[in-house]
């Protein structure tokens, strides 16, 4: 039988005792959490490429080597920088973190795969559906996956008619927004139409019925529509801004959420990591799909503490080796800033009814320089911008 090109690579991997990963988008807000997850694996060299020479990840003690992208900010420049970093490091796996680079590798992965392995990334068409809230809403409706009524805002005469067909209150969301930015709540059509009449930007919006209930999320690693690993988490503490990710999450098992995610990733034939926002509808007594983030997520270290190291599993999947069986524990995880506030209140003798099992404070204490130096650089940049 004719040997495949990858056979030689797999044989060389089998004989290696040391491996390495390249994170090609170290400027991402999620890159440092990915690095800290990978740092739990002994003997794994960690390389980072960033288009920001002062990215906070550069100052991590877990980093083996940092590369600053030179040249343009476009995809062609990023691809050339990744190729250079791979040749310099001999990295065994490229592990993209955020949406732009994940899509780039979905399109251009063939070029890079001649040099090294790539962690699983989705088909480009599936990625574009996942990233665009309107395309995803249409996909959910077409595949009979429970979701709230959703329309696309358009400046035509039929918009008022379409708007009258969906229940209020409603949320408006940027079609390609993230982290809750740009989301607004409207109780009635007149307030919504007034907002759009006065809006002067060029951003596209969806209008989506607001579900009375609670948020529940699911994070996954998939291969061609099959779930390889997942965690389900429910927020129990609000985030710093309305509609932003929660400050604390409780990891739990929920069959309704699992069933929707299993059907959706199969319908999309999804490959790679993703984070799903869902909401339990108290009126219909069921979980409904809201939106999808085709990237890593803010509670990633919580998933790690609960028992699932998603970056490491994605790295192993890139090497095409069998993944270990993983299960997560039902724990309560709270982010560092919120945990410090609660612990300070307790130290001062103030009562707080927020209990939690774990936090990411330990990761910060063992690796403080990214936050410390990063904060100083942000202040310096703001001062310099104010002086110009």
pLDDT (mean) for 288-311: 96
Do residues 129 and 175 touch, judged by C-beta distance below 8 A?
no
pLDDT (0 to 100) of residue 307: 96
Query: For the chain, what is the largest distance between any 2 Cα atoms, rounded to a whole number of angstroms?
Result: 73
Give the whole-angstrom CA distance, residue 295 versus residue 303.
Answer: 14
Q: CA–CA separation, 145 vs 263, rounded Å?
A: 8
- Res. 111: pLDDT tops 90: no
- Beta pairing partners, 249: 235, 333
User: What's the pLDDT at 149?
Assistant: 96
Q: What global pTM score does this model have?
A: 0.90
Res 3 pLDDT > 60? no
Residue pair 229/262 in contact (Cβ under 8 Å)? The answer is no
Q: How many residues does the chain have?
A: 388
Say how many C-beta atoms besides its own lie within 10 A of residue 161's C-beta: 9
- Identify the weakest region by mean pLDDT among 237-246, 263-272, 330-339: 237-246
Q: What band does 282 get if pLDDT is binned at 50, 70 and 90?
A: very high
| Residue 386: predicted pLDDT | 58
Would you state the pLDDT for residue 231?
A: 98
Q: Distance between CA 377 and CA 380 in Å, rounded?
A: 5
In angstroms, what CA-CA distances link 37 with 58, 140, 335, 360, 366?
16, 32, 15, 11, 13
Each residue's pLDDT tens digit, 350-364: 766 666 778 888 999
Q: For residue 145, name the pLDDT band (cuts at 50, 70, 90).
A: very high
Half-sphere exposure of 83 (CA within 13 A, CB side): 14
- For residue 291 the two structure tokens come to 């939106």
Helix axes 255-268, 133-142, angle to 10 degrees: 100
What is the predicted pLDDT for the residue at 375? 78
Residue 240 vs residue 306, higher pLDDT: 306
Assigned token pair, 43: 């003997």
pLDDT, one tens digit per residue, over 228-253 is 999 999 988 877 777 778 888 999 99
Full set of structural domains in the chain with CATH: 18-120 (3.40.50.20), 149-209 (3.30.1490.20), 213-366 (3.30.470.20)
Band of the pLDDT at 69, cuts 50, 70, 90? confident
Quick one: average pLDDT of 167-180?
A: 88
The predicted model gives 149-173 an average pLDDT of: 90
Mean pLDDT, to the nearest integer, of 73-94? 93
Arithmetic mean of pLDDT over the chain: 89
Average pLDDT over residues 307-318: 98
**Whole-angstrom distance, CA of residue 26 vs CA of residue 281:** 37
pLDDT category at 160 given cuts 50, 70, 90 is confident
* Phi, psi angles (nearest 5°) of residue 202: -110, 5
pLDDT for 318 beyond 80: yes
Question: What token pair was written down for 134?
Answer: 């309107």
First to last CA, the chain: 67
Give 150-153 contacts, CB < 8 A, sequence gap 24+: 150/206, 150/207, 150/208, 150/209, 151/206, 151/207, 151/208, 152/204, 152/205, 152/206, 152/207, 153/196, 153/204, 153/205, 153/206, 153/207
**Mean pLDDT within 365-383:** 82
Q: Which residue has the tokens 């959490």?
A: 33
């Amino acid at each position: 039988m004719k040997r495949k090109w990858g056979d030689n690579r797999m044989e060389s991997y089998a004989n290696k005792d040391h491996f390495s990963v390249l994170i090609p988008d170290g400027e991402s807000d999620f890159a440092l959490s990915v690095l800290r997850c990978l740092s739990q694996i002994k003997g794994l060299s960690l390389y980072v490429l960033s288009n920001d020479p002062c990215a906070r990840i550069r100052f991590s003690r877990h980093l083996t080597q940092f590369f600053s992208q030179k040249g343009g900010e476009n995809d062609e420049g990023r691809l050339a920088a990744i190729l250079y970093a791979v040749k310099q490091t001999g990295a065994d796996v490229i592990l993209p973190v955020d949406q732009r680079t994940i899509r780039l590798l979905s399109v251009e992965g063939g070029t890079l795969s001649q040099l090294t392995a790539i962690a699983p990334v989705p088909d480009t068409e599936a990625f574009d559906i996942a990233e665009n809230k309107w395309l995803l809403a249409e996909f959910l409706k077409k595949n009979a996956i429970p979701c709230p009524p959703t329309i696309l805002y358009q400046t035509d005469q039929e918009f008022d008619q379409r708007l009258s067909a969906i229940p209020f209150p409603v949320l408006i969301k940027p079609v390609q927004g993230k982290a809750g930015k740009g989301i607004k709540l409207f109780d009635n059509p007149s307030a919504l139409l007034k907002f759009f009449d006065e809006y002067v930007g060029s951003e596209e919006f969806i209008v989506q019925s607001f579900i009375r209930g609670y948020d529940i999320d699911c994070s996954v690693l998939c291969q061609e529509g099959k779930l390889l690993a997942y965690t389900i988490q429910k927020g129990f503490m609000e985030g710093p801004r309305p509609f932003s990710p929660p400050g604390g999450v409780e990891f739990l098992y929920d069959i309704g959420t699992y069933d929707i995610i299993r059907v959706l990733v199969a319908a999309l034939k999804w490959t790679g990591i993703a984070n799903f926002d869902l909401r339990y509808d108290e009126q219909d007594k069921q979980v409904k799909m809201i939106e999808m983030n085709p990237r890593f997520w803010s509670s990633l270290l919580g998933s790690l503490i609960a028992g699932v190291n998603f970056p490491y599993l994605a790295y192993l999947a890139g090497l095409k080796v069998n993944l270990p069986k993983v299960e997560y524990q039902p724990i309560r995880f709270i982010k560092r800033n919120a945990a410090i506030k609660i612990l300070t209140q307790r130290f001062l003798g103030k009562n707080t009814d927020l209990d939690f099992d774990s936090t990411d404070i330990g990761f910060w204490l063992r690796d403080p320089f990214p936050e410390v130096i990063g904060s100083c650089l942000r202040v310096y940049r703001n001062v310099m911008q104010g002086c110009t």
